[in-house]
């Protein structure tokens, strides 16, 4: 019998990650729904309540199995879960005190939850609501300071009498530096669990599961050549043998320079070329996208076209009855709002409605659907896939399609009267000039999609001040979810949206800029240090320039659910400035300096 922890999934972006983190420490964890009957919670050694897109201050999502609080089992809540515990035991939660990103937690040293940790710990916040008082028998066991210097009480609370605890921050994300230790302290010190789960068993169990699902049939896998589809292909090949696995690589016209040729060669090198098929469908994709402007509209068109091309190819090859294989990983599902309560941050290409229908009909197989990128890489390494293929930067299924922002040329300035003065004043306190841009990009705030304006910051200030300015602006000004830093020579004081659609010309321009960035990262030994570096083409004319604007988005991350911006060395910036601004059609160059949240890694 395994000692097991239940993780109640209230739809927070990181709920599943909590279970993963517990399993990595060798203890079994299972996801449960808030309305599961009380009997379902009986056998657990502990319960964790996740974050949520709902607001505890407004009583949202308060209709769940509250009898869990009558059980003699330790309970720990994160963010929304923390607020639920505070409220249930007589504390107060208000709408306010919001924080995004990094904060310093000052802990009550000696509490078992913080055993082995420092008096001040770096933690990660993403919330609109806050706990402002706790009930009898509860105490504050930590308070926090955010980047802009404000103090937040009750960032960690607890009652040793009831064995109920809450953290306002998210210990499950990697940016809470010792979050894993805090979770482990709960699991071992408070719940008294013994270790019995191992990652070693996962591969064998998954192979058996694949054999069971596929039976005597075969799989037709969409193989982009990214890490996920490559690991999925090798795992399926192991389970089924190469005769029963067909791979289809589609050139959707949204690939990087020489990408398709490189991908086909890689599959040949790893010995999966027996049934390797290729189709150049760029005309189909680009025709379908010709008039599209909105991010979700583009994502749906790309996802639907993938299915259409896949079905046509299946028929042409006479294998249309095979199961559709996909290298979907967990963040694809959660960001698409694919669990019961999660908000749709963005529709991933492998989660469009047609695919959801096929999934419901049992026509899809996704062997990596419960994993995050780090686990996928670990599994790939266990199966002997070489480092070069495993450590390629992640590249989204919709490819450059979500890095080529589109616009009709209309200026999106409706809410500028209230936003602009606030941004300018705040930027000035950090010695920067702030220009709100008349376009929008996708972000994520407190587990909800945020489609808001970026701010262009100009000025020569130290990196830490720049990051503090971003944290202050995105936290204090509603309607702003990211900031970019001007890398051009002059300080633009105007920015004008210009018409821009998905065209071969714009894709060519983006491809050239992207290739310059990738080459520079490799040449300067930064490719491995930077987790991913989207290059984004934005249809904006900055003052005094002709042509559109390029945004560089280098980030550090591990699981893609959170990310921090990377400071590029001055010589790399200088080199990219020369190369990119020399491209005909490019007038501006900026660096995205936003963490996730409130920005996402990609702009759409
Ligand atoms: P965001 O932009 O949500 O991205 O912070 C998180 C990670 O997911 C990748 N991404 C995608 N991958 N299909 C994919 O296979 C998609 O539709 C998609 N959209 C984003 C993104 O590149 C990053 O690594």
- pLDDT of 593 higher than 80: yes
**Can you tell me the mean pLDDT for 270-286?**
96
Atom of ligand 1 nearest to the CA of 394: 24
pLDDT of residue 176: 95
Closest CA to 537 of 487, 575, 580: 580
Q: Between 12 and 515, name the one with better pLDDT.
A: 515
Contact residues for 523 (Cβ-Cβ < 8 A; gap 6+): none
Confidence of residue 598 (pLDDT cuts 50, 70, 90): very high
pLDDT of residue 187: 98
How far, in Å, is the centroid of ligand 1 from the Cα of 395? 7
3-state secondary structure of 249: strand
Domains of the chain: 4-190 (3.40.50.880), 199-398 (3.40.50.620), 416-592 (3.30.300.10)
Best residue among 255, 355, 376, 602 to mutate for probing ligand 1's pocket (most ligand atoms within 8 Å of CB) is 602
Confidence of residue 343 (pLDDT cuts 50, 70, 90): confident
Closest protein CA for atom 4 of ligand 1: 601
pLDDT of residue 264: 96
DSSP string spanning 487-508? -SSS--S-EEE--B-S-HHHHH
**Quick one: the chain helix, strand, coil %, rounded to 5?**
35, 25, 40
CA gap 463, 315 in Å, rounded: 55
CA dihedral defined by 280, 283, 285, 290, rounded to 10 degrees? Answer: 160
CA gap 285, 307 in Å, rounded: 11
Burial of 200 (0-12, 13-18, 19+ CB in 10 A): exposed
Confidence of residue 1 (pLDDT cuts 50, 70, 90): low
* Pocket lined around ligand 1, Cβ cut-off 6 Å: 331-332, 335, 346, 348-349, 394, 396-398, 532, 560, 596, 600-602
CA gap 163, 184 in Å, rounded: 16
CA gap 87, 56 in Å, rounded: 9
**Can you tell me the mean pLDDT for 532-542?**
98
C-alpha distances in Å from residue 428, one per residue of 443, 458, 461, 466, 593: 24, 10, 11, 11, 17
How far, in Å, is the centroid of ligand 1 from the Cα of 189? 36
Per residue in 175-188, pLDDT (tens digit) is 999 999 999 999 99
Closest protein CA for atom 12 of ligand 1: 396
Q: Between 150 and 227, name the one with better pLDDT.
A: 227
Per residue in 394-440, pLDDT (tens digit) is 999 999 999 999 999 999 999 999 999 999 999 999 999 999 999 99
Closest protein CA for atom 20 of ligand 1: 396
Confidence of residue 15 (pLDDT cuts 50, 70, 90): confident
Atom of ligand 1 nearest to the CA of 532: 24
- pLDDT of 538 higher than 90: yes
* Least confident piece of the model among 199-208, 224-233, 441-450: 199-208
User: Tokens 């289809």 belong to which residue?
Assistant: 248
- pLDDT of 148 higher than 70: no
Per residue in 291-341, pLDDT (tens digit) is 999 999 999 999 999 999 999 999 999 998 999 999 999 888 877 777 777
pLDDT of residue 339: 72
CA gap 8, 21 in Å, rounded: 14
CA gap 34, 8 in Å, rounded: 6
pLDDT of residue 546: 86
**Can you tell me the mean pLDDT for 238-246?**
95
Q: 124, 17 in Cβ contact below 8 A?
A: no
**Can you tell me the mean pLDDT for 469-496?**
95
Closest CA to 98 of 120, 123, 124, 126: 126
Report the 3 state secondary structure along 294-357.
CHHHHHHHHHHHHHHHHHHHHHHHCCCCCEEECCCCHHHHHHCCCCCCCCCCCCCHHHCHHHHH
How far, in Å, is the centroid of ligand 1 from the Cα of 262? 21
My answer on whether omega of the bond before 597 falls inside 30° of 0, hence cis, is yes
Tokens for 501?
């659609």
| Catalytic residue selected from 82, 170, 249, 453 | 170
User: Tokens 């010309």 belong to which residue?
Assistant: 505
How far, in Å, is the centroid of ligand 1 from the Cα of 545? 31
Percent of all residues in the chain with a pLDDT value above 70, rounded to a whole number: 99
Best residue among 17, 331, 604 to mutate for probing ligand 1's pocket (most ligand atoms within 8 Å of CB) is 331
Per residue in 562-572, pLDDT (tens digit) is 899 999 999 99
DSSP string spanning 166-233? EESS-TTSTTSTTHHHHHHIIIIIIS-------THHHHHHHHHHHHHHHTT--EEEE--SSHHHHHHH
DSSP string spanning 118-158? -SEEEEEEEEEEEEEE--TT-EEEEEEEETT--EEEEEEEE
Best residue among 394, 401, 594 to mutate for probing ligand 1's pocket (most ligand atoms within 8 Å of CB) is 394
How far, in Å, is the centroid of ligand 1 from the Cα of 332? 7
Tokens for 42?
């009986």
Per residue in 25-68, pLDDT (tens digit) is 999 888 888 988 999 999 999 999 999 999 999 999 888 999 99
Closest protein CA for atom 11 of ligand 1: 396
Atom of ligand 1 nearest to the CA of 351: 17
CA gap 226, 393 in Å, rounded: 8
Confidence of residue 147 (pLDDT cuts 50, 70, 90): low
Tokens for 175?
């940016």
Contact residues for 118 (Cβ-Cβ < 8 A; gap 6+): 107, 178
- pLDDT of 91 higher than 90: yes
| Catalytic residue selected from 82, 99, 152, 172 | 172
Atom of ligand 1 nearest to the CA of 349: 17
Closest protein CA for atom 21 of ligand 1: 396
Q: How many Cα atoms within 13 Å fall on the side-chain side of residue 502? A: 28
pLDDT of residue 101: 87
Atom of ligand 1 nearest to the CA of 347: 17
Atom of ligand 1 nearest to the CA of 224: 15
Give the number of other Cβ atoms within 10 Å of residue 308's Cβ.
15
CA gap 137, 121 in Å, rounded: 25
How far, in Å, is the centroid of ligand 1 from the Cα of 470? 23
C-alpha distances in Å from residue 604, one per residue of 290, 403, 431, 444, 564: 17, 7, 30, 11, 17
Closest CA to 145 of 97, 95, 112: 97
**Can you tell me the mean pLDDT for 441-459?**
96
How far, in Å, is the centroid of ligand 1 from the Cα of 602? 7
On average, the pLDDT of the chain sits at 94
End-to-end CA distance of the chain: 45
Q: CA angle at residue 222 from 206 to 443, to 5 degrees?
A: 90
Fill in the DSSP letter of residue 9.
-
CA gap 69, 8 in Å, rounded: 13
CA gap 245, 229 in Å, rounded: 13
* pTM for this entry: 0.82
C-alpha distances in Å from residue 278, one per residue of 183, 223, 320, 328: 46, 10, 16, 20
Q: 189, 182 in Cβ contact below 8 A?
A: no
Burial 487-505 (b: 16+ CB within 10 A, else e): bbeebbeebebeebbbeee
User: Tokens 């560089």 belong to which residue?
Assistant: 552
User: Is 79 one of the catalytic residues?
Assistant: yes
Contact residues for 417 (Cβ-Cβ < 8 A; gap 6+): none
**Can you tell me the mean pLDDT for 340-361?**
87
Per residue in 362-386, pLDDT (tens digit) is 999 999 988 888 789 989 998 999 9
How far, in Å, is the centroid of ligand 1 from the Cα of 210? 25
pLDDT of residue 359: 92
How far, in Å, is the centroid of ligand 1 from the Cα of 552? 16
CA gap 553, 591 in Å, rounded: 6
DSSP string spanning 53-103? SS-GGGTTT--S-GGGGGSSS-EEEETHHHHHHHHHTT-EEEEEEEEEEEE
pLDDT of residue 199: 67
Best residue among 224, 303, 306, 396 to mutate for probing ligand 1's pocket (most ligand atoms within 8 Å of CB) is 396
């Amino acid at each position: 019998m395994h000692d097991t922890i239940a993780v109640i999934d209230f739809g927070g972006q990181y709920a599943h990650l909590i279970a993963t983190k517990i399993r990595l420490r060798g203890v079994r964890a299972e996801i449960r729904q808030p309305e599961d009957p009380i009997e379902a919670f009986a056998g657990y050694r502990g319960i964790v309540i996740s974050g949520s897109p709902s607001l505890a201050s407004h009583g949202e999502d308060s209709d769940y199995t509250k009898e869990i609080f009558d059980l003699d089992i330790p309970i720990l809540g994160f963010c929304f879960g923390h607020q639920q515990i505070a409220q249930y035991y007589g504390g107060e939660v208000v709408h306010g005190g919001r924080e995004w990103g990094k904060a310093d937690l000052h802990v009550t040293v000696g509490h078992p939850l913080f055993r082995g940790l420092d008096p001040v710990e770096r933690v990660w916040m993403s919330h609109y609501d806050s706990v402002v008082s706790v009930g009898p028998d509860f105490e504050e066991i930590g308070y926090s300071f955010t980047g802009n210097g404000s103090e937040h009480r009750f960032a960690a609370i607890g009652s040793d009498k009831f064995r109920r605890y809450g953290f306002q921050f998210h210990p499950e994300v990697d940016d809470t530096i010792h979050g894993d230790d805090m979770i482990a302290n709960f699991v071992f010190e408070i719940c008294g669990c013994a270790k019995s789960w191992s990652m070693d068993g996962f591969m064998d169990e998954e192979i058996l599961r694949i054999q069971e699902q596929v039976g005597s049939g075969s799989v037709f896998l969409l193989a982009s050549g990214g890490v996920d589809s490559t690991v999925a292909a090798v795992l399926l090949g192991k389970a089924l043998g190469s005769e029963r696995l067909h791979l289809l690589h589609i050139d959707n016209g949204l690939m990087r320079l020489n990408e398709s040729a490189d991908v086909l060669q890689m599959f040949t090198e790893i010995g999966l070329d027996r049934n390797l098929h290729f189709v150049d469908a760029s005309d189909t994709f680009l025709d379908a996208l010709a008039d599209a402007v909105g991010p979700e509209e583009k994502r749906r068109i790309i996802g639907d076209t993938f299915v259409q091309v896949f079905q046509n190819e299946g028929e042409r090859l006479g294998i249309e009855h095979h199961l559709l294989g996909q290298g979907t990983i967990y963040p694809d599902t959660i960001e698409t709002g694919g669990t019961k309560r999660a908000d749709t941050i963005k529709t991933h290409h492998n989660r469009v409605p047609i695919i959801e229908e096929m999934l419901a009909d049992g026509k899809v197989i996704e062997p990596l659907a419960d994993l995050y990128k780090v686990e996928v890489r670990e599994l790939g390494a266990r199966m002997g896939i070489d480092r070069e293929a495993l450590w390629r930067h992640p590249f989204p299924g919709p490819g450059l399609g979500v890095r080529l922002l589109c616009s009709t040329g209309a200026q999106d300035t409706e809410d500028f009267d209230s936003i602009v003065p606030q941004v300018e004043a705040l930027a000035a306190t950090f010695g920067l000039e702030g220009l709100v841009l008349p376009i929008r990009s996708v972000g994520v705030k407190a587990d909800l999609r945020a489609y808001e304006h970026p701010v262009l910051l100009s000025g020569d200030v130290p990196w830490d001040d720049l990051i503090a300015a971003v944290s202050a602006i995105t936290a204090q000004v509603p309607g702003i979810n990211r900031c970019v830093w001007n890398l051009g020579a002059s300080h633009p004081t105007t920015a004008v949206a210009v018409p821009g659609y998905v065209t071969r010309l714009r894709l060519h321009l983006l491809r050239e800029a992207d290739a310059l960035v990738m080459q520079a990262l490799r040449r300067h030994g930064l490719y491995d240090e930077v987790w991913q570096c989207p290059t984004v083409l934005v249809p904006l004319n900055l003052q005094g320039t002709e042509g559109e604007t390029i945004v560089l988005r280098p980030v550090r991350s591990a699981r893609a659910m959170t990310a921090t911006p990377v400071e590029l060395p001055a010589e790399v910036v200088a080199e990219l400035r020369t190369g990119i601004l020399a491209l005909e059609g490019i007038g501006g160059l900026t660096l995205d300096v936003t963490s996730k949240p409130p920005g996402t890694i990609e702009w759409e």
